[in-house]
Amino acid sequence: MKGVARIQKRATATKRGSLLRHERNAAYVLILPNVLGFLVFTLGPLLFSLVLSFYEWDMLRPMQLVGPKNYQRLLFGDPRFRQVLRNTVLYVGLAVPFRTVLALTLAVALNQGIRGTTFYRAAFYMPTVTSLVAVSLVWRWIFNPEYGILNYGLTSIGIANPPMWLLSRTWAMPAIAIMTIWYRAGYFMVIFLAGLQGIPEHLYDAAKVDGASAWGRFRYVTLPMLSPTTFFVIVMSIIASFQIFTISLIMTEGGPAGATETIMLYLYRTGFEYFRMGYASAVAWVFCLMIFALTFLQTRLQKSWVYAE
Amino acid sequence: MNAFRSSEQANTLTRRHLLKLVGISLVGAIAGACAPKAEPTAGAAAATEAPAPTKPAAKVAPVKITAGAWAIATYAELQGESYKRFSEQSEAVDVEWLQMPWADYWTKMTTLLAAGAAPEISLYTPETFLDHAARSAIRSLDSLIDRDGYDLSDFYKVLVDMSMWKGKMGAIPAYHSPIVCFYNKTILSEAGAEFPKETWTWADLREAALKATDADKGIWGFGLEREMWAPIIWSNGGEVWNDDFSASRVDEEVFVNGLQWWGDLRNVDHVAPSPAEMADMKTEMLFQTGKLTMVFHPLSRSIPWVDAKVPFEWDLGWAPKGDQGRSLRLGAGVWGITKDCKPELVDAAWDAIKWVSGPEEGNIWAGLHINVPARKSVAESPAFLDTPPPESLGIQLEMMPYARMPYKLPGSSEWWNNILSNGVILVELGEEKAADQMQEVKKLLDQWLVDNPMSKWTELV
């Protein structure tokens, strides 16, 4: 009896193990296409570009090993890279804070339960789903210093010499930032809205009982409870903003005189127009490490201001 | 039945087997898609295609080659016609036509060359020919020219020179586009201004522009077309580089003065519209609508107002003279054989190029006024000259002795389109003075030379 029970127990364990093995194998097979795609189209090129960054390659002739020369030039001897880095940082510094504040403001407003919330939510989100190329072209017209509606509005309220916007080295990048703030605010507004709706109502009730004003409830309940969402929004917004390419290409082609040339646009031109794929790869990796370092720093700093339950 | 399996588990295992098969099939499909393409064979072509009705019955299946070019606006669909006519009359060669917009063409070409899959034949501009020739991406045609005794004397010398790199012929001229002065005769007549003539100087052009400009009517005397500032400087003896490309000369007085004069047309004289006033319209559109009196352009830009039959009279005029004579920038197209053309296909590609560059095809294109024919015999024939508008087509040929391509220095997409142009734009916008800006540009250009020494450039394949 004991022996039969032992055999039956072993058989059951074997059956379970065999079943688990089959299911595991099926799972591997199902994710295999995705993994293969990642290896072939993402990780492979990534590693190749790392290797390439130590070579000089114009895509038309064999590669030549130059060692760290590309990195040395990039970090210590390329004034143009410093210029595009400044342009990109300026853009990020303008776009991210204002876009975050605007998205939060819209989300808070929509969270009040006013009439037409659904309509407003769709309206604010609409730019995000519109073609970026089409939006860029329309905003080029809006920013036209002579015929654009923006300067028409500014002159009608008494501003005598409105900016030249995309035709001015000073105002071109702020103009692009204004456009992207409008374009992407809706996307982050939806994220904030989801975060707001996750804040327990009893916290607001408790604050009211303690005599907190609306501003007090916002400052001491909403903001802290929303901090994980805010952290996510800021990190994603910074990463996306650093990679700006299409907008500066279409609206200004990086001009006037390189004032809106961003790192991604510089990288693209270096590789495909100037035939310096090795150097472009070095730019890409330095850029990647910069974003990684910035994200790491933010992750470390989050402990000081992000509320974790 | 297995004592340790239920019928349900047997069914489950069967579904798992099915899932495995699906997964393996997907992997196989991906692997198949990633496999290198099979080598083309003449036999395969014969097996899968029926011959064109007008082709004579081929004893051997024709080889297939590809010719690529960017699309030229309205006449994009006609561009492949030359190769189609060649294919129809050729027993041995079929040419597939690859065409795409200018903005995409060179990115695609470079990528295809990197993959070793570029078309056998490609059209090049002077600048892109240099970029590719100096990186050994174009085949030398010397042996073919010598073997066949191909006569180059019918082509304009400047085009032949333009098609050479390091003493070797790398391409055959297809067309050229001298940058000439288009002018609105109606506006100039009403303003009492002179028409451009052979003795015109830059001061005369400015004088006519001042008379023609009428701010109330929104009419401008002259259009600052990007990159058309160079003839002012060249005609007065200025240059971007010295002769051996060892240093830049953009800080010299003649260069600075010429560039400042160009920018002052807009910012001081106000005879040229600002970018804001142009409202994203190109100068040819302003000319077509009668808002721009004079502009420098290649002939192909005239197509819109030829087709639209504009309500004003217009013509081509002489480029103005400077202190050192006359100089005008030359645009052109040349056909070359890429490095990816396999040795066994070179003769086929060469035959195709000879056909499309021949006088027969030249005569077909002459009357379309898309460009100026590359062959003297065609350009100077009634096929081209007697098909107005404009009336003064012949001026382009008279100005050929003064035509020049910018510089025989590769990398112009960086040193001209970016470094130099960024400096010029600031002068055109009136944000900087030419004297100051060109000092900065000179530093950048000289540094570019250090980073890209002449020893970096290799020969034709």
pLDDT tens digits for B34-55?
555 444 433 333 333 434 444 5
Report if residue A57 sits inside a domain: no
Let me know whether A115 and A187 are in one domain.
Answer: yes
Name residue B325's beta-bridge partners: B322
Q: Which of B135, B422, B458 has the CB atom closest to A275's CB atom?
A: B135
B4 touching A, CB under 8 A? yes
Q: Which of B131, B274, B422 has the CB atom closest to A275's CB atom?
A: B131
Let me know whether A94 and A179 are in one domain.
Answer: yes
pLDDT value of position B75: 65
Q: Judge whether B370 and B175 are in contact, CB under 8 Å.
A: yes
Let me know whether A253 and A297 are in one domain.
Answer: yes
Rounded to whole angstroms, the Cα distance separating A177 from A194 reads 25
Report if residue A201 sits inside a domain: yes
Name residue B68's beta-bridge partners: B98, B122
Report if residue B9 sits inside a domain: no
pLDDT beyond 60 at A306: yes
pLDDT value of position B26: 64
Let me know whether B413 and B291 are in one domain.
Answer: yes
Dihedral sign from CA coordinates of B325, B326, B327, B332? negative
% of chain B beyond a pLDDT of 90: 57
Rounded to whole angstroms, the Cα distance separating B376 from B385 reads 12
Report if residue B394 sits inside a domain: no
B13 touching A, CB under 8 A? yes
Q: Which of A23, A32, A79 has the CB atom closest to B27's CB atom?
A: A32
Alpha-helix runs per DSSP H in B268-406: 275-278, 283-288, 303-308, 346-356, 359-366, 376-379, 382-385, 394-398
Report if residue A90 sits inside a domain: yes
A43 touching B, CB under 8 A? no
Tell me how far CA of residue A64 lies from CA of A72, A116, B115, B132, B456, in angstroms: 16, 63, 17, 18, 12
Count helices and strands (H / E) in chain A.
14, 2
pLDDT beyond 60 at B185: yes
Mutate to test the interface with B, among A58, A78, A84, A136 (most CBs of B within 10 A): A58
Chain A residue with minimum CA distance to B441: A257
Name residue B338's beta-bridge partners: B138
Report if residue B71 sits inside a domain: yes
Let me know whether A44 and A74 are in one domain.
Answer: no
Secondary structure of B127-190 as H, E, C letters: HHHHHHHCCCCECCCHHHHHHHCCCCCCECHHHHHHCEECCEECEEEEEEEECEEEEEHHHHHH
Q: In terms of residue numbers, what domain contains A23?
A: 2-52
Q: Would you place residue A93 in the very low, low, confident or very high pLDDT band (cuts 50, 70, 90)?
A: very high
Question: At a CB cut-off of 8 Å and minimum separation 6, what does A19 contact?
Answer: B9, B12
Let me know whether B174 and B184 are in one domain.
Answer: no
How many domains does one find in chain A?
2
Report if residue A228 sits inside a domain: yes
Q: In terms of residue numbers, what domain contains B346?
A: 62-178+331-385
Rounded to whole angstroms, the Cα distance separating B410 from B454 reads 9
Let me know whether B194 and B141 are in one domain.
Answer: no
Q: Quick one: tokens of B147?
A: 């073997």
A144–B276 CB contact, under 8 Å: yes
Q: Which residue has the higher pLDDT, B252 or A1?
A: B252
Closest approach of A60 to chain B, Cα-based (Å): 6
Domain boundary among A10, A27, A52: A52
Report if residue A64 sits inside a domain: no
Q: Would you place residue B406 in the very low, low, confident or very high pLDDT band (cuts 50, 70, 90)?
A: confident
Report if residue B249 sits inside a domain: yes
Mutate to test the interface with B, among A60, A154, A168, A270 (most CBs of B within 10 A): A60
Let me know whether A278 and A161 are in one domain.
Answer: yes
How many domains does one find in chain B?
2
Helix axes A69-76, A277-305, angle to 10 degrees: 60
Question: At a CB cut-off of 8 Å and minimum separation 6, what does B115 contact?
Answer: none
Average pLDDT, chain A: 92
Let me know whether B306 and B425 are in one domain.
Answer: yes
Least confident stretch, A259-273, B292-306, B360-374 = B292-306
Q: Which of B26, B106, B135 has the CB atom closest to A33's CB atom?
A: B26
Question: At a CB cut-off of 8 Å and minimum separation 6, what does B221 contact?
Answer: B208, B209, B210, B211, B212, B213, B271, B272, B293, B294
Let me know whether B271 and B235 are in one domain.
Answer: yes
% of chain B beyond a pLDDT of 70: 84
Report if residue B159 sits inside a domain: yes
Let me know whether B227 and B306 are in one domain.
Answer: yes
B16 touching A, CB under 8 A? yes
Closest approach of B179 to chain A, Cα-based (Å): 24
pLDDT beyond 70 at B14: no
For the segment B388-412, the average pLDDT, to the nearest whole number, is 84
Q: Would you place residue B62 in the very low, low, confident or very high pLDDT band (cuts 50, 70, 90)?
A: confident
- For residue A105, the surrounding DSSP H or E stretch is helix A79-110
Q: Which of B13, B414, B431 has the CB atom closest to A22's CB atom?
A: B13
pLDDT by residue (tens digit) across A164-181? 999 899 999 999 999 999
3-state secondary structure of A188: helix
Which position has the token pair 């060692």? Answer: A67
Give me the torsion for CA of B230, B231, B232, B238, rounded to 10°.
70
3-state secondary structure of A206: helix
pLDDT beyond 80 at B150: yes
A22–B275 CB contact, under 8 Å: no
B413–A273 CB contact, under 8 Å: yes
Helix axes B253-267, B434-451, angle to 10 degrees: 130
Q: Which residue has the higher pLDDT, B443 or A12?
A: B443
Let me know whether A45 and A167 are in one domain.
Answer: no
% of chain A beyond a pLDDT of 70: 97
Name residue B1's beta-bridge partners: none
- ipTM for the predicted complex comes to 0.81
Let me know whether B310 and B443 are in one domain.
Answer: yes
Let me know whether B102 and B140 are in one domain.
Answer: yes
Report if residue B25 sits inside a domain: no
DSSP secondary structure letters along B214-254: BTTTTBEEEE--TTTTHHHHHHTT--SB-TTSSSB-TTSHH
pLDDT value of position B383: 85
Report if residue A30 sits inside a domain: yes
pLDDT by residue (tens digit) across A197-227? 999 999 999 999 999 998 999 999 999 999 9
Q: Give B 257-276 residues with CB within 8 A of chain A.
A: 274-276
Let me know whether A236 and A278 are in one domain.
Answer: yes
CATH number for position B90: 3.40.190.10
Q: Quick one: tokens of A134?
A: 């089409």
Question: Residue B24: its chain A contacts at CB < 8 A?
Answer: 29
Let me know whether B347 and B380 are in one domain.
Answer: yes
pLDDT value of position B280: 74
pLDDT beyond 60 at A1: yes
For the segment B130-152, the average pLDDT, to the nearest whole number, is 96
Let me know whether A40 and A124 are in one domain.
Answer: no
Q: Give B 109-138 residues with CB within 8 A of chain A.
A: 110-111, 113-114, 131-132, 135-137
Chain B residue with minimum CA distance to A9: B4
pLDDT value of position B57: 52
Q: Would you place residue B330 in the very low, low, confident or very high pLDDT band (cuts 50, 70, 90)?
A: confident
Chain B residue with minimum CA distance to A62: B114
Report if residue B45 sits inside a domain: no
Let me know whether A157 and A296 are in one domain.
Answer: yes
Q: Judge whether B316 and B390 are in contact, CB under 8 Å.
A: yes
Q: Quick one: tokens of B307?
A: 């087709």
Let me know whether B190 and B172 are in one domain.
Answer: no
Mutate to test the interface with A, among B220, B414, B450 (most CBs of A within 10 A): B414
Question: At a CB cut-off of 8 Å and minimum separation 6, what does B234 contact?
Answer: B322, B324, B327, B404
Q: Give B 350-409 residues with CB within 8 A of chain A.
A: none
Closest CA to B205 of B252, B264, B288, B290: B264
Let me know whether A245 and A135 are in one domain.
Answer: yes
Which pTM value belongs to this model?
A: 0.83
Average pLDDT, chain B: 85
Let me know whether B144 and B240 are in one domain.
Answer: no
Let me know whether B249 and B287 are in one domain.
Answer: yes
A23–B16 CB contact, under 8 Å: yes
Let me know whether A210 and A125 are in one domain.
Answer: yes
CATH number for position A85: 1.10.3720.10
Q: Which residue has the higher pLDDT, B1 or B60?
A: B60
Report if residue B32 sits inside a domain: no
Q: Judge whether B365 and B177 are in contact, CB under 8 Å.
A: no
Size of the A and B interface in Cβ pairs below 8 Å:
102
Let me know whether A40 and A86 are in one domain.
Answer: no
Report if residue A291 sits inside a domain: yes
pLDDT value of position B176: 87
pLDDT value of position A202: 92
